[in-house]
Amino acid sequence: MHLFQTQHIKLYNTLSGQKEAFKPINEGHVGMYVCGPTVYSNVHLGNVRTFMSFDMVFRYLKHLGYKVRFVRNITDAGHLENDADAGEDRIAKKARLEEIEPMEVVQRYTVDFHNILNKFNFLPPSIEPTATGHIIEQIEIIKTILDKGLAYEVNGSVYFDVLKYNETKQYGILSKRNVEDLIHNTRELDGQSDKKNPQDFALWKKAEPQHIMRWPSPWSDGFPGWHLECTAMSTKYLGDHFDIHGGGMDLKFPHHECEIAQGEACNDASPVNYWMHANMLIMNGKKMAKSTGNFILPNEIFSGDNPHITKAYAPSVARFFMLQAHYRSILDFTNNGLLASEKGFYRLMDAINIMDELKSSESSSITILDWKQSCYDAMNDDFNSPILIANLFEGVKFINQIKEGNASLTHDDLEIFKATMNAFVFDILGLVNVTKVETSTDKLSGAVELLIQIRQQARANKDFALSDKIRDELAEVGIQLQDGKEGTTFSTN
């Protein structure tokens, strides 16, 4: 007996716009593909949020007893600067600017990606394929689409013929756009492009002489279009038709729309049953993004070294902060939000840390099985982690009541309670049990605040010798006091 036989997930499918009962193609098995990072720079916290949403989904599916094959790729070629078919390859550009090999760029940022995900306690995916490792598969798919008459070659490049495809299929089915509107809203081609229509997208691009990332193909020395790699890697490892495809909301169009078109073109069937899209992390009202400079790096959260935050936060605190929002809701990154999550996180850990000391009783005053089911209900309802967390805080309340003798659980109920708390907090949410360690920045702030108070007292007592001594000696060790209307603040250099 597996848990998935009694716990039934409903998940929001972007394709239908509804929550649907989750039924895998092969009972007991789940194939899930998630678009991975383009490894041309460090991942920012927004990227981490999307990957974390799917780490939680992966963890929950595994917990229910599904045998999950989770494929998350590394995009190491083909992603051009403007997300469409123009501009320089992001990795090649970085390589040019830094005067290193593109594969050095790829190596550096793949390692960074893994390091960051490890710090956040992610589970590794089952397979992590790279675009450059699947050029042959991509070429084969292009041949198939050409054979079906749904792509055309011009000057060594191959484009997907969206209008032709749309005669029998529906381009825009995922993002709810129709081709007529797309035509209406797209700028005229500037004459630089070989495309028949601006909606068409590249399957293969002929490389300009200066383009360093290039492979031979029947059409030219060139490189694959960005959307193609995900079709190649997902179907290679999960089959032409698989269960779940995920990614950030911003990938819905054109990336995932094009993946559907490519899959349909090859097999006359939609490649994916459930499309899941995670919502954006925003900061100062705008999407967190590398291109606009509106971003924060995970390591800055761990060190506290960023003007948007007042202190360092443990990775599990940041993880908890993100999981306190539902994956389909926008999440606003703020220092106050992190501070509140930090309090909640340590309250949860403090309670868990005393669970083993709880004594069982003759009878139970809490119906623990109902509470346990409400934890499952939350996750079964489209992975609703904030509701789950509210239930876990109900569990914290039970722990404190039992400790104080205001509630009781039998031995068996207590065992169920402990196992459930541990499963949801550590296995499913992926939090790590860290007890609050004061970071060095916390300690420094505490010590300087104390000196500021002593100095204020000294000034109130007209003991200016002492107050100046405090200011000057702090300055000597690199801590500057600034007196203002609101009181005294300090900065370090």
The partner residues of 491 in beta bridges, in order of sequence, read: 480
Tell which one of 30, 34, 35, 116 touches Zn ion (CB under 5 A): 35
Q: Chain-centre distance of CA 29, in angstroms?
A: 23
- Looking at beta carbons only, is 37 or 395 nearer to ligand AMP? 37
| Collapsed DSSP state (helix, strand, coil) of residue 420 | helix
Angle separating helix axes 411-422 and 368-380, nearest 10 degrees: 20
Contact between 352 and Zn ion by CB under 5 A: the answer reads no
Which of the residues 177 through 206 are near Zn ion (CB under 5 A)? none
CB of 248 vs ligand AMP, minimal distance in Å: 2
Cβ closest to Zn ion, residue 247 vs residue 430: 247
Nearest distance in Å: CB 55, ligand AMP: 13
CB of 39 to Zn ion, least distance (A): 13
* Rounded CA separation 245/489 (Å): 50
Residue 46 interface partner, choices ligand AMP, Zn ion, none, CB cut-off 5-8 Å depending on type: ligand AMP
Nearer to ligand AMP (CB atom), residue 148 or residue 290: 290
281 binds, among ligand AMP, Zn ion, none (CB under 5 to 8 A by kind): ligand AMP
Task: Report the partner that residue 230 touches, choosing among ligand AMP, Zn ion, none (CB closer than 5 to 8 A by kind).
Answer: Zn ion
Other CB atoms within a 10 A radius of the CB of residue 402 amount to: 24
Question: Quick one: 74 or 375, whose CB is closer to ligand AMP?
Answer: 74
Nearest approach in angstroms of CB 32 to Zn ion is 13
Q: What is the DSSP string of 222-285?
A: EEE-HHHHHHHHHHHHH-SSEEEEEEEGGGIIIIIHHHHHHHHHHHSS-SEEEEEEEPPEEETT
Closest CA to 197 of 164, 155, 156, 231: 164
Q: Which residue is nearest to ligand AMP (CB)?
A: 248
User: For residues 46 and 224, which CB has a smaller minimum distance to ligand AMP in the complex?
Assistant: 46
DSSP 65: T
Compare residues 35 and 375 and give the one whose CB is closer to Zn ion: 35
The DSSP symbol for 38 reads: B
| C-alpha to C-alpha distance for 361 and 4, rounded to whole angstroms | 32
For residue 436, which phi and psi values (nearest 5 degrees)? -60, 115
Distance between start and end Cα atoms, the chain: 61
> 464-476 vs 440-460: helix axis angle to the nearest 10?
160
> If contact means CB under 5 to 8 A according to the sort of partner, which of Zn ion, ligand AMP, none does residue 436 touch?
none
Residues making contact with ligand AMP (CB under 6 A): 35, 37-38, 46-47, 49-50, 247-248, 250-251, 280-281, 287-289
Footprint on residues 278-307 left by Zn ion (CB under 5 A): none
Per-residue x/- mask for Zn ion, residues 201 to 230, rule CB under 5 A?
-----------------------------x
Distances (CA, A) of 380 to 141, 209, 460: 36, 53, 61
DSSP 8-state class, residue 202? E
The residue among 272 and 375 lying less far from Zn ion, judged by its C-beta, is 272
| 288 binding partner (options ligand AMP, Zn ion, none; Cβ < 5 to 8 Å by kind) | ligand AMP
Taking the complex as a whole, how short is the minimal distance between the CB of residue 38 and ligand AMP, in angstroms?
4
Tell me, what amino acid is at 489?
A: T
**Binders in 227-246 for Zn ion, by CB under 5 A:** 230
Interface with Zn ion (CB under 5 A): 35, 230
